[in-house]
Structure 1
Amino acid sequence: MRFLILALKGCAMGMADVVPGVSGGTIAFISGIYEELIESIRRVDPTALKLLVRFRPADFWRHINGRFLLPVLLGIGVAIFSLARLMTYLLTHHPIAIWSFFFGLIVASAILVSKQVGRWNVRTVAALAIGAAVAWWITVATPAETPNTWWFVMLAGAIAICAMILPGISGAFILLLLGKYQYIMQAVGNLDLPVILIFVAGAVVGIVSFSHLLSWLLRHWHDATVAVLMGFMLGSLNKVWPWKEVLQTYTDSHGELQPLVEANVSPARFEALTGYDAQLLEAVLLCAAGFLAIYGIERAARFIVRKRGE
């Protein structure tokens, strides 16, 4: 029964990680497994490697808390593979609707993350501005098609996985910023094993390497670190604006034209350029739905914490 419950909690985390703006770490916190998850990740250390090299699998399993990690990771994997094809379909056939929903998710997440800053002062405001400026610059300077080479896919996995241990920061959102969200979703949906394995390898390296660093930063520079992350999210909103004008295109491996460089435009300008309906009402409603979804998760977390306190 415990295995099944942990697997279901992992599924909830996986579903969250597929959607930009919702953090798997937030779901872990709500479901009461966050601290054990962090501790289990930290146990994947040199001692664990030594136990593997010495062919002591039972000791290795106990050291990394395998009875906990296995069902959680299994649940995460099942959810990601189940939803990847759906997300690819929505991004292809309903881009304005899905990007509007993502926009609302990210705005709400940024606001909630701001509440984790204990004290706003010159340092934290500067950190927020730096994070927003860097993210904005990346969205402007980086074309929609970033390299699909193995090293960049591995790098994307290493960076995105860090979101799993940070409530409020979405791994899918990080992939959006890096221009690799749709590419990875397609690889998962099509079971493109080489891409998946490279991405997973990067994720493993990233979560083992960065978990201690992020823990140290949050312990010693908590407010400044959270402020940078909030700025990172706000600056990236440029990336998920629903209405865009295609400035440059490229031909992909299937011989189809894909956008390379895009510019944000108003809904009216979008209609004039493309001749398609801007779906403004639908976009506003879905943006509001995404915003309210995050607040629903946050209120659920408060309720659970309050009940535990009682």
Structure 2
Amino acid sequence: MRMGVLDIGSNAAQLLVIDACAGAPPLPVYREKRLTRVAPAIRPDGLVTPAGVDRLVAAVCSVVEAARAYQVDELIPYATAAVRDAANRDDIVAALRAGTGLDVGFLSGEDEGRLTYLAAHRWFGWAAGPLLLLDIGGGSMEIVQGRDENPAVSLSLPLGAGLLTRSHLPEHPATSRDVKRLRRHVRGVLAPVVRRLDWETRPHKTVATSKTFKQLACFAGESDPAGSRVLHRRELRTWIPRLARMTPKQRAELPGVSRSRARQLLAGAVIAETTMAALGVDRVEVCPWALREGILLRRLSPPSYGDNLRGVCLRDPAGIVTNLDDHRLAGSVC
């Protein structure tokens, strides 16, 4: 069966397509990406502007057509924090339903963290020991820790790179005063998290997912002997003043940095470095698998896995719980 996951985020709608087989890794046969640019369309009151909603629907419509062209049998569409937390979320969902024929679901931040952790745990394997996972999105950051495939702790914090760019970094290049103010804010939000994680077993490995970490590792990281990208806190810290002095256009010229994410790159770097410092982490290893792979892994888990998908669910805007296997590519053609 050909399956797809459609991730509707603050910057882009991204499709991952696999030929599904229980027990096999979720290796992609096709990827598609269309810019949504929801983040700059979010007003101070939390509403996404009509123009932003139109761009979002057009992007999702294009990706759904690609899924149909590649004969996807089952599609799991979900939206992350930017849409999930929007003040006019119901209107956005209705517009997506009218424009694409899809009923888009949502995961809580904590469930996003659990599924991302599942993907990282499968990637690194049992030999990795206890894992600490960091994921910086546009609207939130997830911190997850555990030893088994079901983590002991999954936390979602309002520390997204796009969110904090809008609230704390109004100008680019940015002033050192604004960067310090942002760092203080991140430390304050992290303080209870640090106390909570002190109760857990010290992780053997810290891994990072999300586009933010991948882009930072492209120009500020290095490859380890196994070929994985590694980001060191000391190197990241030296880059923060340099990024602050750059315009978004200049940041987009750095290796691996896209134009659509260049403006929020500085906030992402500050969040990443401050979090690593607060948690006593000197290096993170970037994991190629993340939330989309985690959803597919959970969807393909055999009944003997335990909860048979009932433990992690997509939720519709009315709060009705719907199992992942109920989301199929159906409805009107764009």
TM-score (norm 2): 0.25
Give the TM-score taking structure 1 as reference length: 0.26
Q: Which has the higher helix share?
A: 1
Q: Which entry has the higher C-alpha Rg, 1 or 2?
A: 1
